[in-house]
Structure 1
Amino acid sequence: MKTCLVVDDSSVIRKVARRILEGMEFEIIEAEDGQQALNVCQRGLPDAVLLDWNMPVMDGYDFLRTLRRMPGGDRPKVVFCTTENEVAQIARAIHAGADEYIMKPFDKDIIAAKFQEVGLV
């Protein structure tokens, strides 16, 4: 079974994402911020990361940049899922190594389409 790390400071978003992704046959690991997510990745890299941008402790952008520098950190498919909708922000995320970008709010169809685009389903 593929694993997906859901990184968001909102427990509601994590819960919604968990339900959607478990329905897509993913095993879910949760983190509340980028630092917790890095701790998870140091123990073992997931197949996918659904990543919020704005979080306390470490934001999604800094997490992504650090992840991509880790050994094997180029392997997980990273999908930003955020309210940040400026073209410059999206470009920054893609440049830092994001594979896709989803705007909040999201639904099952949006996540399924983006995960299919990056070859996860």
Structure 2
Amino acid sequence: MTAASDPAVCEVACTHPEAVATARAALPDAVTVDAATTLLKVVADPTRFRILSALHTGELCVCDLAVVVGISESATSHQLRLLREHRVVASRRVGRTVYYSLLDAHVTTLIGNATEHVRE
């Protein structure tokens, strides 16, 4: 395939200095890039994404999440621990039951947007 027939390659080599400067200025710093890509890797796991999708509907306890996602309570708890460590979910204890929810509106939006995007 030649450059002329590849829609991903410019037919003429050129740069646009103002656009390059604007894009460079908008790049996040290395620490932010590392943290954001780590977050996306955590969310990208199919089991964790199913858990987060279930929590997108509202707060659920570990037992309910295990049934919804179709894995053991132990495996669910393990995944939730990882999600909690990465500040994706929040937990609260009521007696002997632990309830989980998405941590904040950013996570809710992330899960909702990802699902909506692939459905379009």
- Give your verdict on TM over 0.5: no
Q: Which has the higher helix share?
A: 2
Structure number, greater radius of gyration: 2
| TM superposition score category, shorter chain reference | under 0.3
